[in-house]
C-alpha cells in the first residue's frame, strides 16, 4: 500500500512538469507559426499568384504534431496584405492552391513530394528541419540558444519568382545564393 501511495504522489508531483513541457511545446509551435505568418507579410508574390477576386492567402502545413496544427490553426482569419489567412493542416497534392507551405521536422518525407511538385511555383516554403534550406527549402527556422533564427535560400526564392524583403534578409543568420 505504501508503494502505491508513493507512486501516486510521484505522479502527482510530475503532472505540473508534464503540463509545463506541453505548454512550452505549444509556445514554441506558436512562435514558429507566427514567424511563418510574418514571413508571408514580408514576401512579394508575382502577379497572378492569387486567383482573380480571391482574397485568401492559403497557408498549408505538412506536420505530424497536433500542437503545431493547433498553433497554425490559430492564425486562420488574420490578414496579410488585405488577404484573409486560410490554414490547411493537410496540404492538397502538389500543394495546389497554397501560397506558403510550412514543413515540420519529421514530416519531410510527406513534404518531399509536395516540394518537388511545387518547384518553380510561387510557393514560399518554410521548414524547421535541420538542412531544410540546403535541400531546396526557402527559409529554414533554426533554434539558436532558445532564439529562432533564419537561414534563407535565395536561389530557391528566385526560382519561384518570390521576393523576400531586405529587412528579413538582414535578420537572417545565413543567406545562401
> Mapping DSSP to helix (H, G, I), strand (E, B) and coil, where does residue 56 land?
strand
Q: What is the DSSP string of 82-106?
A: TEEEEEESSPPGGGTT-SEEEE-TT
**Domain tally, the chain:** 1
Classified as helix, coil or strand, 78 is: coil
The pTM assigned to this predicted structure is 0.83
Torsion 31-47-121-77 (CA) sign:
positive
Q: How buried is 11 (Cβ within 10 angstroms: 0-12 exposed, 13-18 middle, 19+ buried)? A: exposed
pLDDT tens, position by position, 50-76:
877 667 999 999 988 899 999 999 999
pLDDT band at 85 (very low <50, low <70, confident <90, very high): very high
Give the pLDDT mean for 120-127.
93
Which segments of the chain are extended strands (E)?
43-44, 56-62, 79-80, 83-88, 100-103, 124-127, 139-144, 147-153, 163-164, 174-176
- Mean pLDDT for all residues in the chain: 83
- Domain with 148 in it: what CATH number? 3.40.50.2300
Provide the domain limits for residue 110.
Answer: 2-176
Q: Are 33 and 75 in contact (CB under 8 A)?
A: yes
Strands 124-127 and 79-80: unpaired
Amino acid at each position: 500500500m505504501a508503494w502505491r501511495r508513493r507512486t501516486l504522489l510521484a505522479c502527482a508531483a510530475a503532472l505540473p512538469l508534464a503540463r509545463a513541457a506541453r505548454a512550452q511545446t505549444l509556445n514554441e509551435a506558436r512562435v514558429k507559426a507566427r514567424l511563418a505568418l510574418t514571413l508571408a507579410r514580408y514576401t512579394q508574390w508575382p502577379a497572378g499568384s492569387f486567383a482573380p477576386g480571391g482574397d485568401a492567402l492559403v497557408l498549408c502545413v505538412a506536420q505530424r504534431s497536433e500542437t503545431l496544427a493547433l498553433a497554425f490553426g490559430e492564425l486562420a482569419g488574420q490578414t496579410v496584405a488585405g488577404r484573409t489567412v486560410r490554414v490547411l493542416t493537410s496540404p492538397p497534392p502538389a500543394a495546389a492552391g497554397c501560397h506558403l507551405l510550412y514543413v515540420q521536422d519529421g514530416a519531410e518525407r510527406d513534404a518531399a513530394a509536395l516540394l518537388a511538385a511545387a518547384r518553380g511555383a510561387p510557393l514560399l516554403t518554410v521548414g524547421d528541419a535541420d538542412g531544410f534550406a540546403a535541400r531546396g527549402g526557402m527559409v529554414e527556422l533554426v533554434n539558436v540558444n532558445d532564439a529562432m533564427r533564419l537561414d534563407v535560400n535565395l536561389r530557391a526564392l528566385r526560382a519561384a519568382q518570390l521576393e523576400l524583403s531586405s529587412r528579413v534578409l538582414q535578420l537572417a543568420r545565413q543567406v545562401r545564393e
